[in-house]
């Protein structure tokens, strides 16, 4: 399957130069015309490459890594029927099929999507690699709220004075690799976004999944404000386990980004500061061999990140990112090798 997907993507690459009109974005959108022309059927190719070097100050050791080498194909077969297929050729050295879905636009403001996708939950976890502000994702985006699954979603933009978009769906709840399993339980996720004024966004999310015997219920609230030079964001996630199988989990992500325009070499320089934290978490599957109780799979920690990003063109197109991450662990926590104090230098290219 991986080889077949890779072969198809490579075969479609020559079409990138004559891809669809700008009305199609990276996720597939409705074409605003009744009848498609020949050029409208051509797929649009996108890609993201993130190469980085990390130096861990605690160990005194470093490593080079291709964090992402993503290629996606989007397009339309009808003005109201779109599709997307995305594969990561090097997710830390592994090949992964990420998105594979079809999307319908039955009427104005309504979308129906079925296939493999990121579930509608949280703000930061929904960002694609090229849209991330930091080389390493927040705890909410990576550990606590990061879910891709196979299922069905319905989205609708309400015809109100304040733009409101809601999206919800049903999913297998077993991730991307166990699609043949049959499920009696219902796994769902829903998200609502409110754009109160230009640059001010509020998002509310809820998710309920049952990986095995224990159901996990998660709630998320986040908001951001964006102006010409500033981006300020804060997000809070709360997670509960059924039958008190594990203590409740809390996670926070807050950051600020300030852009300074430049005239030579770089288009701009951005200054960033982030604070994020999470309490002890269980994956709701790993248990103690003797007691059968859920065990901690991600330990409580806090992190302070400072960084500078140099953009050679428009934002999130070609970025050079330099970060320093400082971790704070409780005495009882066990720190993973990749989750300790480090310097990160990353080059991100989007095409």
Which one is predicted more confidently, 293 or 90?
Answer: 293
> Could you read off the pLDDT of 138-166 as tens digits, one per residue?
999 998 988 889 999 999 999 888 889 99
Is residue 257's pLDDT more than 50?
yes
- Angle formed at CA 97 by CA 52 and CA 149, multiple of 5 degrees: 110
| Residue 24 pLDDT | 35
Is residue 49's pLDDT more than 90?
yes
Enter the pTM of the model. 0.87
The topology (CATH level 3) of 103-350 is Porin (2.40.160)
| Residue 350 pLDDT | 92
User: Distance between CA atoms of 146 and 178, rounded to whole angstroms?
Assistant: 17
φ, ψ of residue 238 to 5 degrees: the values are: -125, 130
Structure tokens at 77: 């077969």
Residues 6 or more apart from 101 whose CB is under 8 A from it?
83, 84, 113, 114, 115, 116, 117
> Could you read off the pLDDT of 115-144 as tens digits, one per residue?
999 999 999 998 988 999 999 999 999 989
Residues 6 or more apart from 86 whose CB is under 8 A from it?
70, 71, 72, 73, 97, 98, 99, 100
Structure tokens at 25: 């974005």
Q: Residue ranges per domain, the chain? A: 103-350
Task: State mean pLDDT over 270-288.
Answer: 94
């Amino acid at each position: 399957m991986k080889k077949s997907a890779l072969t198809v993507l490579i075969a479609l690459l020559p079409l990138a130069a004559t891809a669809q009109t700008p009305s199609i974005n990276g996720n597939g959108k409705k074409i605003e015309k009744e009848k498609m022309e020949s050029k409208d059927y051509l797929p649009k190719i996108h890609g993201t490459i993130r190469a980085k070097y990390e130096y861990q100050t605690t160990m005194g050791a470093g490593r080079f890594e291709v964090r992402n080498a993503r290629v996606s194909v989007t397009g339309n077969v009808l003005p109201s029927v779109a599709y997307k297929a995305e594969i990561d050729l090097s997710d830390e050295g592994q090949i992964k099929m990420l998105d594979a879905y079809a999307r319908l636009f039955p009427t104005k403001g309504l979308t129906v999507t079925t296939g493999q996708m990121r579930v509608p939950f949280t703000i930061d976890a929904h960002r694609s690699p090229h849209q991330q502000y930091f080389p390493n994702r927040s705890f909410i985006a990576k550990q606590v709220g990061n879910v891709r699954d196979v299922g069905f979603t319905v989205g609708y933009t309400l015809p109100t004075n304040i733009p409101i978009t809601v999206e919800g769906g049903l999913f297998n709840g077993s991730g991307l690799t166990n699609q043949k399993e049959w499920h009696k339980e219902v796994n769902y996720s829903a998200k609502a976004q409110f754009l109160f004024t230009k640059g001010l966004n509020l998002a509310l999310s809820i998710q309920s999944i049952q990986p095995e015997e224990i159901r996990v219920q998660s709630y998320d609230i986040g908001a951001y404000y964006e102006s010409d030079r500033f981006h300020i964001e804060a997000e809070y996630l709360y997670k509960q386990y059924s039958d008190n199988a594990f203590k409740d989990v809390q996670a926070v992500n807050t950051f600020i980004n300030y852009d300074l325009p430049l005239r030579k070499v770089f288009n701009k320089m951005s200054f960033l500061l982030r604070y994020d934290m999470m309490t002890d978490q269980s994956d709701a599957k790993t248990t103690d061999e003797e007691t059968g109780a859920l065990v901690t799979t991600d330990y409580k920690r806090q992190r302070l990140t400072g960084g500078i990003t140099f953009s050679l063109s428009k934002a999130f197109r070609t970025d050079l990112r330099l970060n320093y991450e400082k971790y704070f662990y409780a005495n009882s926590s066990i720190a993973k090798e990749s989750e300790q104090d480090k310097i990160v230098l990353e080059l991100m290219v989007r095409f």
